[in-house]
Amino acid sequence: MADRLSPELEAAAAEMAGSERGFHRPPPGLDAAAGAAVRRRALELASGSGPLEAIGGYTLDDDRASSQHCENFIGAAQVPMGVAGPLLVRGSEIDGTVSVPMATTEGALLASVNRGCRAITAAGGATVFVEDVGMTRAPVFRTTGIEATRRLLEWLETNEERIRAKAQQTSRYLELLDVRPSVVGSTVFLRFRFATGDAMGMNMVTIACDRVVSELIEPETGVECVALSGNYCVDKKPSAVNYQLGRGKRIHAEVVLDEPTLRKVLKSNAEALQDVAYRKNLLGSVAAGALAFNAQFANVLAAVFVACGQDVAHVVEGAMGVASFEARDDGSVYASVYMPDCPLAAIGGGTGLDTQREALAVMGVRADPDRPGTAVRRLAEIVGAVVLAGELSLTAAFTSRDLARAHERLGRSSAANTDD
């Protein structure tokens, strides 16, 4: 049902629609819900879209959404959510079955991942190991040349403990692990690496780096910080440095599937899986110059990230990684995924939204102040296992030529389903 506004608010919406200031300033004194309604009406008038009823139908907390998550708030984009599982995961923070909420508009994805979960569970579960590599931020500095750069690096080495103390003053959950310099001519990148507890930590480390730069490095060395991020972090971009050094969580997951499970659940065999992985994941990615040696890390990550309140832009980092398949003499296959760069959060950001908090609760991901970092490690272990499930099922679909048939049956909209 379209928003019914008072004559005064209808007039305000009309004025907003014709204003060059855009949609950021509704009439004063309105609460978040009323402000969103005025913006929606103004957008209807400005765009000629017709009623934005679906966008205005949501269960979000208006005040929280508009003040913490989204400026110029008008409503919500709804994405269908399903569940994959049960999935048996063997890790340090979870040793049992779990159901995994996933939000996607891609038909066939949940069915495929669910098949992979069934195969893993039948095989006794996925073994997962997670390394907390740490969240990074890399300010970039300009010096006058080699000598000034040398003095800066000497100062950094001498003042390491002062830098650590200054950074850790900004949060009791923050620990500075190290600072790694990289020099290109008169440009110096300092890659700060932090442990951030159960938070993904990007805001925490940015604030800490700003404090160190503005209160220690610049005043004591005279070297200018050009930008608080120098793209050597590397945030939300595929990069060799993150692939090599890791960022966020470094995830390893593996499973051995015997011949009956391969045949009955995946409709495939070890030799065929190994061949597709070699020619597609390895050679295909090398030929393309890709940093992702896998079939669909991004698909599974995006669906979990949307459902569970993660920063969706970090999919571009998490999608880097390797899926490998090794045929064994007994007809079984060893399958693994390696994800060197997967930023995740159990608290903060989108994890506080109601639907996302519920999705995390389904997986038992609840932060414990007395055990910081354990909740996000549990999430990382589940993520590693469900990504492995997705790789198993899609790779098997390539071997059996089922991919196109599955998408034709499950993934085509009625609008696209026309006879040629």
pLDDT category at 26 given cuts 50, 70, 90 is confident
How much is the pLDDT for 419?
36
Q: What's the pLDDT at 414? A: 47
pLDDT reported for residue 403: 58
Locate tokens 């819900």: which residue? 33
Taking 50 as the threshold, does the pLDDT of residue 415 lie above it? no
- Over 80: is that where the pLDDT of 409 sits? no
| Contacting residues for 40 by C-beta, under 8 A, at least 6 apart | 3, 52, 55, 56, 74, 75
Is-contact 243 340, C-beta < 8 A?
Answer: yes
- Does residue 76 sit in helix, strand or coil? coil
* CATH number 3.30.70.420 given to 139-227: yes
Q: What is the mean pLDDT of residues 326-341?
A: 99
pLDDT at 404: 58
C-alpha span between 355 and 358 (Å, rounded): 5
pLDDT of residue 268: 98
- Polymer length in residues for the chain: 420
**Nearest to 213, CA basis, from 273, 166, 259:** 166
| pLDDT number for residue 2 | 60
pLDDT tens digits, one per residue of 149-206: 999 999 999 999 999 999 999 999 999 999 999 999 999 999 999 999 999 999 999 9
Q: pLDDT (tens digit, 9 = 90+) per residue, 66-114?
A: 999 999 999 999 999 999 999 999 999 999 999 999 999 999 999 999 9
Tell me the per-residue pLDDT of 296-318, one tens digit each, with 9 for 90 and over.
999 999 999 999 999 999 999 99
- Sign of the Cα torsion 94, 99, 104, 108 reads positive
Average pLDDT, integer, range 2-10: 86
pLDDT score of 78: 96
Query: Does an H or E element contain 281, and which?
Result: none
More confident residue, 417 or 396: 396
| pLDDT exceeds cutoff 90 at 413 | no
Sign of CA dihedral 56, 348, 316, 408: negative
pLDDT over 90 at 19, yes or no:
no
- pLDDT of 135 > 60? The answer is yes
Q: Looking at residue 411, what is its pLDDT?
A: 58
Q: Which has the minimum average pLDDT: 26-30, 38-42, 210-214?
A: 26-30
For 382, other C-beta atoms within 10 Å of its C-beta total 28
Return the pLDDT at 27.
Answer: 85
The pLDDT, as a whole number, for residue 401 is: 73
> Would you list the domain boundaries of the chain?
10-69, 82-133+238-410, 139-227
Q: Residue 24: pLDDT band by 50, 70, 90 thresholds?
A: confident
On whether the CB atoms of residues 90 and 126 are closer than 8 A, the answer is: yes
Cite the active site residues.
106, 311, 407
How does residue 23 score in pLDDT terms, banded at 50, 70 and 90?
confident
Stretch 237-252: mean pLDDT:
98
pLDDT top residue among 403 and 53: 53
pLDDT at position 10 over 90: yes
What was the pLDDT predicted at 418? Answer: 34
- Residues 321-344 have a mean pLDDT of 99
- Asked if pLDDT for residue 370 goes beyond 60, the answer is yes
Residue 333's SS3 state is strand
Q: How far apart are CA 147 and CA 199, in angstroms?
A: 39
Q: What is the pLDDT of residue 407?
A: 57
CATH class of 82-133+238-410: alpha beta
d(C-alpha 249, C-alpha 251), whole Å? 6
Averaged pLDDT of the chain: 95
pLDDT given at position 351: 98
Closest CA to 118 of 90, 88, 146, 152: 88
User: What integer pLDDT is reported at residue 410 of this predicted model?
Assistant: 62
